[in-house]
Amino acid sequence: MIKIKYLSLSILFILIIASGAFTSRADEPVQVTVSILPQRYFVKKIGADFVRVSVIVQPGASPATYEPKPSQMRDIMNSKIYFAIGVPFEKTWLDKFASFNPEMLIIQTDSYIKKKNMPGGHHFGHEHPGVDSDAVNPRIIPDPHIWLSPPLVKLQAETIADALIKSDPSRKSVYEKNLRYFHQELEDLDLEIRSILHQGIKRPEFLVFHPSWGYFADAYGLKQIPVEIEGKEPGAGQMADLIKYAKKIGTKAVFIQPQFPLRNAGTIAREINADLIIADPLSEDWMTNLREVAEKFAAALN
């Protein structure tokens, strides 16, 4: 199936070249493509009206399993830059994107960020209950959710600005100025989130279906307890342990994201008499969303 799709995309590539899709003018915005919606927010903050940003993973879809549509390849063909961020679908598709448009810069915005590991198992009832990575399962999977920590977004923003300057040096001063403004906004947001979360939180653990919020938790002294482990829903025994631990710590909320099924999260919520609360890690209105999620965490942990 993948080979058939790859052949279809190759044919589309030839047709686009034949139609003259690569023609552009110097005064046109720089065409870039990103993997997920929050990246468009970051790129627009720095590039403003001088960039045109296409997004591969569409709203409601998961970057773990997404397969680009043939119609999206036109954006790839016209892009000067592709900003990758380390989400799973990139492992399959980045090389294909590069073969379709060899002139396109592929920028890894996670290059200078030390990633943590995705949770590999539960340790309920031990000295440090919660999640652990290597002790239970030796298979190491880097956590890609670096866009959910304002301090880490500052690093990504620098990488984005450097790439835009390299591709469009005539606007270097604009990109540098916008980067300074964005850095200040990120610092202000960081202080605001700290203020929201540090007002009487009784316990730092929060229950979440998919472990998206590890970097956010690290930045603000919280601890996520995921229902899902390495992309898999828990077995009956794991569910029982999770429910027992959630009751022990008095959890009153289970955080979910709209891109994943809710069956097991709903079961746990009913068993512990907790609310299901949406915390979307892929919202395009990134700054507003992160502020709202912080308020949801604060309310639940109080």
Same domain, 160 and 286: no
Closest CA to 296 of 251, 253, 259: 253
Residue 20: per-residue pLDDT? 44
Residue 161: per-residue pLDDT? 98
Adjacent-strand bridge partners of 38: none
Same domain, 173 and 286: no
Residue 80: per-residue pLDDT? 97
Same domain, 202 and 261: yes
> How would DSSP label each residue in 111-169?
TT-PPPBPP-EE-TTSSS-SEESTTT-----B---GGG-HHHHHHHHHHHHHHHHHH-G
Same domain, 175 and 202: no
Closest CA to 253 of 202, 200, 199: 202
Same domain, 100 and 64: yes
Same domain, 251 and 293: yes
Q: Report residues of the chain scoring pLDDT below 70.
A: 1-26, 120-139, 200, 230-231
Residue 228: per-residue pLDDT? 79
Same domain, 126 and 96: no
Same domain, 32 and 133: no
Query: Residue 293 CB: number of other CB atoms within 10 A?
Result: 22
Same domain, 153 and 229: no
The tens digit of pLDDT for each residue in 259-299 reads 877 777 888 888 889 999 999 999 999 999 999 999 999 99
Residue 182: per-residue pLDDT? 98
Range of the domain at 45: 2-114+143-188
Residue 50: per-residue pLDDT? 98
Same domain, 241 and 107: no
**For position 223, which CATH number holds?**
3.40.50.1980
Same domain, 78 and 223: no
Same domain, 100 and 39: yes
Strand (E) positions, the chain?
A: 30-34, 51-55, 81-84, 105-108, 121-122, 131-132, 205-208, 223-226, 253-256, 275-278
Number of domains in the chain: 2
Length of the chain: 302
3-state secondary structure at position 75 = helix
Residue 10: per-residue pLDDT? 52
